[in-house]
A and B are shown apart, each in its own frame.
Chain A
Amino acid sequence: MASLNREKSRPGTTAQGRGDARSARQAADHPSGGARVGAIERPERGAGAPSPAKEHPAARVVLGPFDAHAVRKQFPIFRTPRAKPLCYLDSAATSQKPDAVLAAMDHYYSSFNANIHRGIYGIAEEATAAYEDARRRVAAFVNARSPRELIFTRNSTEAINLVAYSWGRSQLKSGDAILLTEMEHHSNLVPWQILAAERGIELRFIPVTGSGELDLGALSGLIADGRVKLVAVVHISNVLGTVNPVAEIVRQAHAGGALVLIDASQSVPHCPVDVQALGCDFMAFTSHKMLGPTGIGALWARRALLEAMPPFLGGGEMIREVKLRESQWNELPWKFEAGTMAIAEAVGFGAAVEYLEALGMDRVFDHDRELAATTMERLREIPDLTILGPPAARRGGVIAFTLDGLHPHDVATVLDDEGVAVRAGHHCAMPLHEKLGVPASARVSFHCYSVPEEIDALVRGLHRARKVFAK
């Protein structure tokens, strides 16, 4: 039987040991998993030691002090000639892509494009190996115990929907409750609303305080009756930039008998995240916000949970044996990867993770936060500007603001004329904006290629916006 042979020769299986060895090496490089994640919850800086040298151009180019201008040169979008230099301050929406990621995807398409897990010819095996190697890289990046715990999805949204459909529909019943927060992105809100309506599940919310932080004091009361089976919370807010104390939320939730899903869409791309140190049960993140391509993201979950969960989508690859009326599911992680996956994108995702590791996530986060602190300081010179969210010490590289009497769309249009790209609107967080009492906001956000000159252009543009719309 072909499937038996395949089981033996599957690169993903044979390479499993290598992946684990790699994780072990990584763990040795970071002796304390807690320290890695601690960097995100402590305002003070870590040393930001670069990752061990790997066979990657970025590792040779960017060593020593973090040099954002040198990093920037490796992103072709900033080399593209245009009327005004691009000041890209919308990395929370999507990040730009370095040469290394584009080259990796191009290399796959031009050298070994073939479907994975099927062909027994050379390039098919090469493609399978590259796909599974990307999985190992991404899994190790968040310190998963095994690559089997890492499911490729289309994006964070699909990862959360996977949990809502598969885990939620098999484990939750009428009368159970799910605890969310008032600062969730629609992607960590709507899937639960659908499930709640379908199954008679109650939705509860951790309130957001006036300073744009979670009211953690409310948590114990919200889970006290034991009906909350899942706490789904965003790690870093895409609007406020708030870094939520997820390790503490996990501790309290577990004590109250609930599992925890972390929406890490804005954290995994910007700071060290260690699923084992956080102790969470599910984590969703997406490639395109972390220098990788669109169309691929990841769900990490504890193996025991994934083993017990029914498939999300049915089709090819996710099965072990198919009869006309019934089938047996494939083992992890392939049970959740029906149909031909985004192979080139997975390769690009792996290359993005390798690039970020070479930069060093501690240093990327320090860089983001330094720019955020500078920006918040500079924005004080703009009259009637209100920054949403907590002080710089308790946020990542995201700053949303409003200008009295000026609609964010108009602000963004004037900025666009200066070559400055910012997001204007509600950033897929309408309930949060309602809570804050503003219909919309303008948002600037950074990544490793962001430079202080972009903040200068932002401030110039904001002064001009004030002038254009002065009544």
Chain B
Amino acid sequence: MSGMEDLFRENILDHYKHPRNRGTLDHPDITYEDANPLCGDRIRMDVMVKDDRIEQVRFSGVGCSISQAAASMLCEAVEGRTLDEVRGLSRDDMLEMLGIELGPVRLKCGMLALKTLKAGVYGLHQWPGEDD
């Protein structure tokens, strides 16, 4: 398990305090919500798709700093990307964005946004990374 200084690195706190792409879309092509029942984290992803690319993405919800920062980072990373590129995102990619190691409990917080986005876009219900 990582200590607090590792867990709450500057970039995590920055995304948590100043989230990017936070909000909802009026007419999303895809909207999907998922929750981590163990800790009450909840994320909704709204996506607008144009020419197989993610034109706009917004997240909303409540949760701990890790889950909210991960959602913010993920939105930033996928805007403008093709759906195939998003399909290819793995657990390791998400961990790389976060730049920290996560223990078994916080891993679920860190993966909730990716899980929600992939489930919404592709109807995947597997844990990200389990399929590869």
Where the two chains meet, the residues of A that have a C-beta atom closer than 8 Å to any C-beta of B are 407-410, 413-414, 416-417, 424-426, 430, 433, 439-440, 468-469, 471
Q: Given the known A-B contacts A413-B4, A413-B7, A413-B8, are A407 and B64 also in contact in the complex, defined by CB atoms under 8 Å?
A: yes
Q: Which residue on chain A has the smallest CB distance to residue B42?
A: A439
Q: Given the known A-B contacts A407-B65, A439-B62, are A417 and B38 also in contact in the complex, defined by CB atoms under 8 Å?
A: no
Q: Are B39 and A430 in contact (CB under 8 A)?
A: no
CB distance from B109 to the nearest CB of A (A): 7
Q: Are A439 and B40 in contact (CB under 8 A)?
A: yes
Q: Are B4 and A416 in contact (CB under 8 A)?
A: yes
Contact residues in A for B66 (Cβ distance below 8 Å)? 409-410
The contact string, 1 if C-beta is below 8 Å from chain A, for chain B 11-33, is 00100110000000000000000
Contact residues in A for B38 (Cβ distance below 8 Å)? 425-426
Please, how many angstroms separate the alpha-carbon atoms of A136 and B128 in the complex?
52
Can you report 7 residue pairs joining A to B where beta carbons are below 8 Å apart?
A408-B39, A408-B64, A413-B7, A417-B5, A439-B42, A469-B16, A471-B17
Q: Are B37 and A469 in contact (CB under 8 A)?
A: no
Q: Which residue on chain A has the smallest CB distance to residue B38?
A: A425
Q: Which residue on chain B has the smallest CB distance to residue A434?
A: B40
**Which residue in B3, B17, B39 is a CB contact (below 8 Å) of A409?**
B39
B80 at interface by CB-CB < 8 Å: no
Name the residue among B7, B17, B39, B66 with the largest chain A CB count within 10 angstroms.
Answer: B39
Q: Which residue on chain B has the smallest CB distance to residue A417?
A: B4
Which residues of B, 34-71, contact A by the 8 Å Cβ criterion?
Answer: 37-42, 62-66
Contact residues in A for B40 (Cβ distance below 8 Å)? 407, 425-426, 433, 439-440
Contact residues in B for A407 (Cβ distance below 8 Å)? 39-41, 62-65
Where the two chains meet, the residues of B that have a C-beta atom closer than 8 Å to any C-beta of A are 3-5, 7-8, 13, 16-17, 37-42, 62-66, 106, 109
Name the residue among A426, A440, A471 with the largest chain B CB count within 10 angstroms.
Answer: A440
Contact residues in B for A409 (Cβ distance below 8 Å)? 39, 64-66, 106, 109
Please, how many angstroms separate the alpha-carbon atoms of A414 and B4 in the complex?
6
Contact residues in B for A410 (Cβ distance below 8 Å)? 8, 64-66
Please, how many angstroms separate the alpha-carbon atoms of A317 and B37 in the complex?
40
CB distance from A230 to the nearest CB of B (A): 28
Q: Are A417 and B3 in contact (CB under 8 A)?
A: yes
CB distance from A433 to the nearest CB of B (A): 7
Q: Are B65 and A469 in contact (CB under 8 A)?
A: yes
Considering the complex of A and B, which 8 residue pairs feature the smallest CB-CB distances, nearest first?
A: A439-B40, A417-B4, A407-B64, A409-B64, A440-B40, A471-B17, A410-B65, A410-B64
Please, how many angstroms separate the alpha-carbon atoms of A424 and B40 in the complex?
10
Contact residues in A for B4 (Cβ distance below 8 Å)? 413-414, 416-417, 468
Please, how many angstroms separate the alpha-carbon atoms of A407 and B112 in the complex?
15
Q: Are A430 and B37 in contact (CB under 8 A)?
A: yes
Please, how many angstroms separate the alpha-carbon atoms of A52 and B69 in the complex?
58
Contact residues in A for B106 (Cβ distance below 8 Å)? 409, 413
CB distance from B16 to the nearest CB of A (A): 7
Contact residues in A for B42 (Cβ distance below 8 Å)? 439
Please, how many angstroms separate the alpha-carbon atoms of A416 and B8 in the complex?
13
10 A-B pairs besides A407-B40, A408-B39, A425-B38 with CB distance below 8 A are A409-B109, A410-B8, A410-B64, A426-B39, A426-B40, A433-B40, A439-B42, A440-B40, A469-B16, A471-B17
CB distance from B112 to the nearest CB of A (A): 12
CB distance from B100 to the nearest CB of A (A): 12
Please, how many angstroms separate the alpha-carbon atoms of A433 and B62 in the complex?
15
Q: Which residue on chain B has the smallest CB distance to residue A425?
A: B39
CB distance from A193 to the nearest CB of B (A): 16
CB distance from A181 to the nearest CB of B (A): 21
Please, how many angstroms separate the alpha-carbon atoms of A469 and B63 in the complex?
13
CB distance from B90 to the nearest CB of A (A): 24
Contact residues in A for B63 (Cβ distance below 8 Å)? 407
CB distance from B122 to the nearest CB of A (A): 27
Please, how many angstroms separate the alpha-carbon atoms of A425 and B3 in the complex?
20
